[in-house]
Amino acid sequence: MKGKVVEKMFKAVDLQPGTYFWCSCGESKKQPFCDGSHSGSKFQPRKVEVKEATRLKMCLCKQTSSPNGTCDGSHNSA
């Protein structure tokens, strides 16, 4: 089950060490991260563990197969 397409591209985000939750449903107002909008649906956010400061390309089309919500190019066919 894939989420609602927010945009057909990725969003580059600079992240500090910590735990983040990527929105898989496409309904969050805090894209690309979860704000709880999936509540009551079959969607669950995907956990993103960051060990050191990094920049990640986070999926906005919600079609990625990446386990942590990073872009895998799926937006090219979404």
pLDDT tens for 31-78 read 999 999 999 999 999 999 999 999 999 999 999 999 999 999 999 986
Integer Cα distance of 19 and 24 in angstroms: 16
Task: State residue 13's pLDDT score.
Answer: 98
Q: How is the chain split into domains, by residue range?
A: 10-67
Residues facing residue 33 across a β-bridge: 22
Phi, then psi, of 53 in degrees rounded to 5: -50, 130
Q: pTM, whole model, 2 decimals?
A: 0.92
pLDDT band with cut points at 50, 70 and 90 for residue 21: very high
Spell 34-62 as b/e; 16+ CB within 10 A means b: beebbeeeebebbebeeeeeeebbbbbbb
Task: State residue 60's pLDDT score.
Answer: 97
